[in-house]
Copies of this chain bind each other. A is one copy, B any other.
Amino acid sequence: MKKVDIALVAKTARVSTMTVSRVINRVPTVSAENQRRVLTAIKQLGYRPNPSAQRLASGKAKPTLGLIIPRFEGIFHSYYALQVIKGCGIAAERLQCDLLLHVAGGNTPLLPAVDGLLFADLFGCEELLDRVVDDRLPVVVLNHYLEELPVTCVAIDNRTAAERVVAYLVRLGHRDIATITGDLKVQAGLDRLDGFMKAMRARHLAVRDGYVRFGNFGLPSARAATEALLALKERPTAIFVASDDMALETIHMASAKRIRVPEELSVVGFDDIPSAATAHVPLTTVRQPLSEMARRGTELLFQQVKGKARRPVKLVLPTELVERQSCRQTWLDH
């Protein structure tokens, strides 16, 4: 069984390879007879042109960008991944470049053959990044601000966002504020906690014992954390939860325990997922421009690939606090 290439097709159809190429590329200047012969040969041999060869020969400059999705537990259940994929996908379409999706497993032996790489998050891919930087492959990291490495990154200002949440709650009169964190191995998770602590400290507000509960963005962790928080003798009057998914769960559990939100407990989330707006208790939360982050990252990578970018760019995108109905002033009667 010999390889079927354009030459074989040409021979079978008894024309030149050029004629075959023309038929494939729908160049109109081919006689009906030859066209028929070529088509027949193609069908008969089951011929398929080789994409790499086509691209190489035609010198088509359509670059290929690789999007690395870290395969950590739950990323696929997250609003996050989808927004990133969406942003990258649409940007790639606009920029006329290919987007190669790569779910990074534990071991990522060889990097895919692409012109540039986009990391949906750094977590779990540190090693790969090193290798890639080493190879001088154009790279953009999303959702993780890299202080030291000379790598372009586009992230969200999680710290300031968390600070603003505290400011908001304090303005409503809360002082006993607790937090349920995200996964602290992910920078976004860590920064949200950081911002929270910093803001509390700045206001000389004590963070009581047990008021910081460690979650990992997963619902089970949120349940455990909420359980613990609500069982406290000195229950917080407000909780800042590091993701909407978890925050909704917190509210759910509070309701089940007949603790009314927001009357007896204020809750703030993070993400502004669609159901935050339509939940039973519409959730006050932080909206982050995920899809824009992805778009910007893709564009930046594209620049780099095109050689139009000189030095690494560090972008930090702002967030927005969306007030809904899960928070309340402490001095209101209830």
Contacts and interface: CB of A to CB of B under 8 A. Distances in A.
B90 A82 contact: no
Interface in A76-112: 76-77, 81-83, 85-86, 88-90, 92-93, 98-103, 105, 112
A288 B221 CA distance: 26
A55 B113 CA distance: 8
Q: A-side binding surface: helix, strand, loop or mixed? A: helix
A115 B55 CA distance: 13
A248 interface: yes
Nearest to A307: B46
A6 interface: no
Interface in A102-158: 102-103, 105, 112-115, 136-138
Contacts of A255: 280
A101 B103 contact: no
Contact of A76 (B56, B64, B71, B82): B82
Interface string A223-245: 00000000000000000000001
12 contacts: A46-B136, A48-B136, A48-B138, A51-B64, A51-B113, A69-B89, A71-B90, A77-B274, A81-B82, A93-B105, A101-B101, A249-B278
